[in-house]
Amino acid sequence: MVFSSIPFLFYFLPVTLILYFIAPRKLKNAVLLTVSIVFYSWGEPVYIVLMVISILINYLFGLKINKRLQNNISAKFPLVLGIAVNLFLLGFFKYADFLIDNLNGFLSLGIGRLNLPLPLGISFYTFQAMSYIIDLYRGDVKVQKNIVNFGTYVALFPQLIAGPIVKMKTIASELDNRKESFDDFASGAKRFVTGLGKKVLLANNIGLVWTQIHSMNISELPVLTAWIGILAFTFQIYFDFSGYSDMAIGLGRIFGFHFLENFDYPYISRDITEFWRRWHISLSTWFKEYLYIPLGGNRFGLLKQIRNIIIVWLLTGFWHGAAWNFVIWGVYFGIILIFEKVFLLKVLKKIPGVLRHIYTMLLVVISWVFFSADNIHQALCYIKTMFGGYGNNFYDSKALYILSNILILLILLAVGCTPLVSKFVKKIVDVGTKTSAFFETFVMVGIFILVTAYLVSSSYNPFLYFRF
């Protein structure tokens, strides 16, 4: 799958904006649905049928659930069947080869792999569609009888590929009746450009460092080089994913939608519990609302609460990818969260904030080793290298050369992970003078020009979360 952001930026988006804003009010959702399908076809032409099937299936299940509820008949069967169909489609296209490989490995069955390419964004739009039928069953949303509106909700291109996961109850009123405004357009455009800058100027550049170090022989890496590499990935995944979320939220605002935030400066957290309140908020909220609480949450004693946490984080890891290292990544966080829930948070509250932050970031950085690795063995070898397990030197001339070349970038990234930049900009803009408005516009235009120059002169680097 090749998805190029250059045509998207310079051809697709301007045409979409023109078509959308000249369209009559009644046809705006039809325009969005059409361009969303074209957008998806551009990136993943083979699986456009799968996405359309997902839209139709969940639309029909929604009608069936609503009909039963109106007639005071239990709607549990169509709900369970709808969830099962969604999970089957997700499981078949994302996890079939993983299951086959493990069956062959454990039972020596010799089943041939299907080698199906992963449908773009299937984890996101499947969870989004499931949240609709579940909320409909619960009475949290009204049935969507207009299939164009429902299709727009599922396929809306700004957040189709990598989230945030948008629930119907968040934008139901805006699907049926929304008003675009100049203020929303301006703030949305600024948010979009900010996200684009985070991705292209920050994530891509630090990602080159990770790519270089990741390709080296792990067991021969100096300790410092290993830490530089995983710190580079730590910054890359944050600015890459939060950058995409900013772009999606910004584009949504341009079209009159107000998506919820997906990141809240997670790297300033002082414990893992807080980290997961700030990182990928839409996913953690989804699992909390549709799995953790239905399982009983923390209502039935500590043992069941621990069970529920393990189940949620096992599946959270598995959601991210069909590989055991993702499962380990999820269980890793689940175990830490259990320790924090049982006793560790009480201990951490007595520790100075700086030490709590070091504790948190150390655990987060180690977690990204499992997340970025190709397999568990590679992850364990990398962690062993990070802590000098192979007896390698702490540093060498190449490590110092890499560090000296990216030191300024690392400082910029570290500051960018905090609210300091936004507070500084807000302080300037809040002055409300023509000078502050000019400054903000100048910065946004400057970022866009830099991004354009960078994209034209470099090869395309896809968003990390495209593979989920």
Q: Residue 309 CB: number of other CB atoms within 10 A?
A: 20
Which among 382, 279, 287, 285 is positioned nearest to 325, based on CA atoms? 382
Closest CA to 328 of 262, 376, 393, 365: 376
Q: What is the pTM of this model?
A: 0.91
330: CB partners within 8 A, 6+ apart? 313, 314, 315, 316, 317, 318, 320
**How confident is the model over 119-165, as pLDDT tens digits?**
888 999 999 999 999 999 999 999 999 999 999 999 998 888 777 99
Active site residue 357: no
- Kindly report, residue by residue over 57-69, the tens digit of the pLDDT: 999 999 999 999 9
Per-residue pLDDT at 328 exceeds 50: yes
Eight-class DSSP state of 177: S
The tens digit of pLDDT for each residue in 172-229 reads: 999 988 888 998 998 999 999 999 999 989 999 999 999 999 999 998 999 999 999 9
pLDDT exceeding 90 applies to what percent of the chain?
69
Separation of first and last alpha carbons in the chain? 13
Give per-residue pLDDT as tens, 222-236: 999 999 999 999 999
Mutual orientation of helices 376-386 and 324-339 as an angle, nearest 10°? 50
Q: Among residues 214, 280, 320, 377, which one is catalytic? A: 320
The alpha carbon of 205 is separated from its chain's Cα centroid by a whole number of angstroms, namely 20
Model confidence at 3, in pLDDT bands (50, 70, 90)? very low
CA distance 402 to 211: 13
For 361-390, what is the mean pLDDT? 95
341, pLDDT greater than 50: yes
pLDDT of residue 468: 54
Angle (CA) 263-179-243 rounded to 5° is 20
Q: How far is CA 249 from CA 47, 181, 225, 448, in A?
A: 25, 15, 36, 17
